[in-house]
Structure 1
């Protein structure tokens, strides 16, 4: 699930990703934005791409925050593969950006599908339903 455009995984890069994760969650202004940020953080490969971070992250006096409008405007020029782009389209749709049908879920692998389902549950304010594999 990694691409050549993804940053290398080093201890420093991982520390920076964790710091950024906490900051983006802290500055999310709505439940939908928190659900979208959490989905991107769980999926990791999309958010680790420098082009995505450049389009998404807005630097403010309070630190970095997710600017989904900027990301939505650049989603087709980020160098994402088909699954990553489909995942991002579904995440952005939770915030009202773009027109994507739920049929797009058929293009997701198991991991991204589970992340998307958990994000939809967060968006609905439901933390009680579990998403996982059947035994």
Structure 2
């Protein structure tokens, strides 16, 4: 695993811990993350940090059909408490905008798209 990807695994828990340790209403985390949303790479990093996975497989289908014999990987938006870490509306707005830099490749765009789709499913109660 690449060191950069390993570090992304810790971004979300570290941000929550930073928020927990700061004095009440200090707003340091939100101020930092709101500024970071202006950078396309940091925006991607936050989307990646809040994009989780779940795994499922079926035991049996309808009408006697067999279920899923292969495990299925599903994207999940892990956004509980996200409002303590960043401006949610601004985050969503920036995620929906085209990238501002040429640093974005198809992997970055795909991750953001998958995260927005998972977040939409979660909002609709389908997750």
What TM-score do you get using the length of structure 1 for normalisation? 0.33
Larger radius of gyration: 2
Bigger relative CO (Cα 8 Å, ≥ 6 apart): 2
